[in-house]
């Protein structure tokens, strides 16, 4: 009896870790500029805020995979003996999604030269078969609302009747929308502050199997993790109508 109870507890703990895992990955191929052939055994590192988070080494064909990565923006740096280093910045990593980054590096050593390119979101995302949109931290900060549901309603196919109200996805009822916070399904209001949200992913079609049988769509929220940088903000809310000079119009 004690052994069965112990095994049951282990299984529950493992399931809990699996459910809370909200990660993505970056993969791609490193090639030589002149020949377009893969560069084997090149060092590829993923950085966030100039700190190394994960790293990988390319295989014999120049392919690499870096995972797991928490949602956010990353920079990829590539170095290899006998080649010039290269870097791509602003790579967006989202929940349960593969971001593809291919880089080309040239032969020779030039200390002054460092190739830096900016990541562009692909028009057709082959890393995820689902129909979804991801709202990152910058977009959340610039949004004119503080409510997570209202921010998520900016996605195509999402309707919200009133500010802060429930969401209807693809014409379904509000109870057909499932909400997840860091991989955990929640019911009722999210109640999350705008400043504590890293990403909001709205899935309107091709719902992955791990999210169950939602008839409408999925709202997946990833909260911010620890950071080395201090940050803060001040918000002012009023019910009075003011003109551009600050005078009361009521």
First-to-last C-alpha distance (Å) of the chain: 72
* Percentage of the chain modeled with pLDDT above 70: 72
Average the pLDDT over 80-99 and give the result. Answer: 87
Alpha-carbon distance 23 to 25, whole Å? 7
Pick the CATH number of 23-118 from 3.20.20.70, 2.140.10.10, 3.40.190.10, 2.60.40.1120: 2.60.40.1120
The domain limits of the chain are 23-118, 131-223
Q: Is-contact 65 29, C-beta < 8 A?
A: no
- Write the pLDDT tens digit of every residue in 120-170: 766 666 656 567 778 777 777 777 777 777 777 777 777 777 776 778 787
Strands 98-100 and 24-32: parallel
Nearest to 223 by CA among 164, 147, 137, 138: 137
Q: Please check the confidence at residue 18 and state whether its pLDDT lies above 60.
A: no
What pLDDT, on the 0 to 100 scale, is given for residue 244? 53
Q: Give the architecture (CATH level 2) of 131-223.
A: Beta Complex (2.170)
Query: Alpha helices of 115-233 — where are they, by DSSP H?
Result: 137-142, 148-152
Distance (Å) of CA 248 to CA 144, 145, 238, 242, 244 = 21, 22, 11, 5, 10
Alpha-carbon distance 102 to 112, whole Å? 23
What pLDDT, on the 0 to 100 scale, is given for residue 226? 63
- Write the pLDDT tens digit of every residue in 95-111: 777 889 999 998 876 55
What pLDDT, on the 0 to 100 scale, is given for residue 64? 96
What pLDDT, on the 0 to 100 scale, is given for residue 17? 41
- Write the pLDDT tens digit of every residue in 45-84: 999 888 889 999 999 999 999 988 888 889 999 999 889 8
């Amino acid at each position: 009896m004690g052994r069965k109870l112990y095994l049951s507890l282990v299984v529950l703990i493992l399931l809990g870790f699996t459910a809370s895992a909200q990660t993505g990955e970056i993969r791609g191929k490193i090639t030589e500029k002149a020949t377009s052939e893969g560069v084997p055994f090149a060092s590829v590192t993923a950085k966030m805020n100039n700190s190394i988070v994960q790293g990988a080494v390319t295989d014999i064909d120049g392919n690499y995979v870096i995972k797991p990565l928490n949602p956010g923006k990353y920079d990829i740096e590539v170095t290899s003996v006998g080649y010039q280093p290269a870097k791509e910045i602003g790579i967006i990593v989202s929940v349960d999604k593969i971001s593809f980054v291919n880089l080309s590096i040239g032969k020779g050593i030039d200390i002054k030269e460092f190739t830096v390119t900016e990541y562009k979101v692909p028009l057709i995302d082959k890393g995820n078969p689902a129909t979804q949109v991801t709202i990152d931290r910058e977009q959340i900060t610039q949004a004119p609302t503080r409510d997570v549901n209202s921010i998520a309603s900016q996605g195509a196919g999402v309707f919200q009747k009133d500010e802060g109200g429930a969401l209807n996805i693809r014409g379904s009822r509000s109870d057909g929308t499932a909400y997840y916070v860091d991989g955990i399904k929640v019911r009722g209001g999210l109640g999350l502050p705008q400043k504590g949200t890293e990403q909001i992913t709205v899935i309107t079609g091709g719902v992955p199997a791990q999210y169950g049988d939602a008839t409408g769509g999925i709202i997946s929220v990833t909260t911010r993790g620890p950071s080395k940088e201090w940050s803060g903000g001040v918000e002012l809310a009023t019910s009075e109508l003011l003109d551009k000079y600050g005078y009361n119009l009521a």
